A and B are shown apart, each in its own frame.
Chain A
């Protein structure tokens, strides 16, 4: 550490016991109330998911992926599933494509609702912690109706999906969407217009799109800088149904600092993400075609894979989520699986983003990047 530069610098460990530090620890060097150096530490949750995958078959691997981020389970398992499909040559039926897309967007809304609550609580407003978390229960009801599980859904599987829609799932999804649509204006009033939040977030944790890209940031953190970088549009996946509906990548253009984003912009961006996802689900729900939900050859083809390499990608709630898969001939398990969690980069970027800000703003900057420790520790 460079504490010898100034005599009165002190070092503080933020976490892992701190309430807002759910399983991570960052060493901060402070001079007075200002942070001069930030050293994010990872590894408190490390369970060597990549090594474990080398000993699990191609259906079990998707379950490991899902457990890295339970909040966006439908999205988290997808890169693994699509990488296996590419090597195995599985054809996903049309019905499964649309159902996957609907559930992935529902998962995104659910994850963002969780984030509002958590972010508001980190800023000190505990009422706002519980309001979105109550609404999120309605999505969990739909997930439970569909898969029997609230979080560990294990829905996507190589070749298609495991469970079919029924009337109960659609009714519960619609109820959850009606609820969030009804409450969204209230949340916006509270978070975006409330003076407390504006003062705490505006001008805090500001970076340009160029800086963010160099640090490896993606998803809403980059879109809030005005760059419409979104894999759903940029790299359309033939196994998903985003081309069946009409939507635009939401971005924030803040006139005070064009091309840059602060914590406030990232908060606005995540509201826009919810509105976009709601629009996509609404357009897709009436369009679910009839037919099978899984490739009939999935049993034969996904047990043993030919030699190959594939790169599965998805636009997760927090940014670009990918899995690189290498298999050997007639393999029952991957030779190498590399997970790219979006928060690996967001947590790293604190090193550059936090110095010269106030100690009290540290948690605002951290929270505004929507970090999830499972993604960097794996």
Chain B
């Protein structure tokens, strides 16, 4: 497999190559052969394409968003190269009520579903993405963005979600007394399963 892995192999060299081409990128070395690249959102596509060119066996390991509250988000892309034992983490700060970045799913198809999930969970748009339908959520939660910190998980917004309402409990005095299991006659033909 080594013939088509043409990169230098070290995280710091990869970081230097990227920073030379894109001076606005900030490279932070992490522990071990790992590097983090912090970049503006409009450069993400160009840099992912450059990563694809320079390391040919990158595995698109993970991609997700982090809600930092007040309409601030971070997108994190994680790549792993087996031949270089190199981990590269991209960090893209974005902001706005419905922020949008360019999709990289045509360069790394493995990110297609990650972007789709990030879109439904955080409301972050990916321009150029082939298919931004809901992936995991039911239709009732479309546009609710449940992984945002502003999404209330208590029942105060249950009505808004469109999910079935729980029946209100009658006061204790009106509830029928629960018969003890030993005295309950079994109804004919019904098995407990």
Grouping DSSP codes into helix (H, G, I), strand (E, B) and loop, the A interface class, with mixed when no group exceeds half, is mixed
Question: Are B62 and A215 in contact, with the CB atoms below 8 A?
Answer: no
| A216 proximity list for chain B (CB < 8 A) | 59-61, 108-111
Question: Are A320 and B136 in contact, with the CB atoms below 8 A?
Answer: no
| A218 proximity list for chain B (CB < 8 A) | 59, 61
Stretch at the interface among A15-23, A41-49, A134-142, A156-164: A41-49
Nearest to B112 among chain A residues (CB) is: A348
Question: Are B146 and A48 in contact, with the CB atoms below 8 A?
Answer: yes
B132 within 8 A of A: no
Q: Shortest Cβ distance from B130 into chain A, in angstroms? A: 10
Total interface residues on B, using CB and 8 Å? 35
Give the residues from 22 to 63 in chain A that come closer than 8 angstroms, CB to CB, to chain B.
42-43, 46, 48, 50-51, 55
| B134 proximity list for chain A (CB < 8 A) | 43
Of the residues B56, B61, B66, B89, contact of A320 by C-beta under 8 Å = B61
| A217 proximity list for chain B (CB < 8 A) | 110
Give the residues from 1 to 36 in chain B that come closer than 8 angstroms, CB to CB, to chain A.
1, 4, 32
Q: Shortest Cβ distance from A286 into chain B, in angstroms? A: 30
B138 within 8 A of A: yes
| A50 proximity list for chain B (CB < 8 A) | 147
Bound CA–CA A46/B120 (angstroms): 13
B51 within 8 A of A: no
Question: Are B64 and A338 in contact, with the CB atoms below 8 A?
Answer: yes
A374 within 8 A of B: no
Of the residues A43, A51, A213, A320, contact of B146 by C-beta under 8 Å = A51
B85 within 8 A of A: yes
A102 within 8 A of B: no
Question: Are A311 and B78 in contact, with the CB atoms below 8 A?
Answer: yes
A352 within 8 A of B: yes
Q: Shortest Cβ distance from B28 into chain A, in angstroms? A: 12
| B89 proximity list for chain A (CB < 8 A) | 311
Of the residues A51, A324, A352, contact of B78 by C-beta under 8 Å = A324
Nearest to A311 among chain B residues (CB) is: B78
| B153 proximity list for chain A (CB < 8 A) | 51, 55
Nearest to A218 among chain B residues (CB) is: B59
User: What 0/1 pattern do residues 227 to 256 of A give for CB contact below 8 A with B?
Assistant: 111000011000000000000000000000
Instruction: Please give the residue numbers on chain B whose beta carbons come within 8 Å of chain A beta carbons, in ascending order.
Output: 1, 4, 32, 56-62, 64, 66-67, 76, 78, 80, 82, 85, 87, 89, 108-114, 134-138, 146-147, 153
| The 4 nearest A-B residue pairs measured at CB | A216-B110, A229-B82, A43-B136, A46-B136
A-B contact pairs, 22 of them (CB 8 A): A43-B134, A43-B135, A43-B136, A43-B137, A46-B136, A46-B137, A51-B146, A51-B153, A209-B1, A210-B4, A210-B56, A214-B60, A215-B110, A216-B59, A216-B60, A217-B110, A234-B85, A324-B76, A336-B67, A344-B113, A345-B113, A378-B136
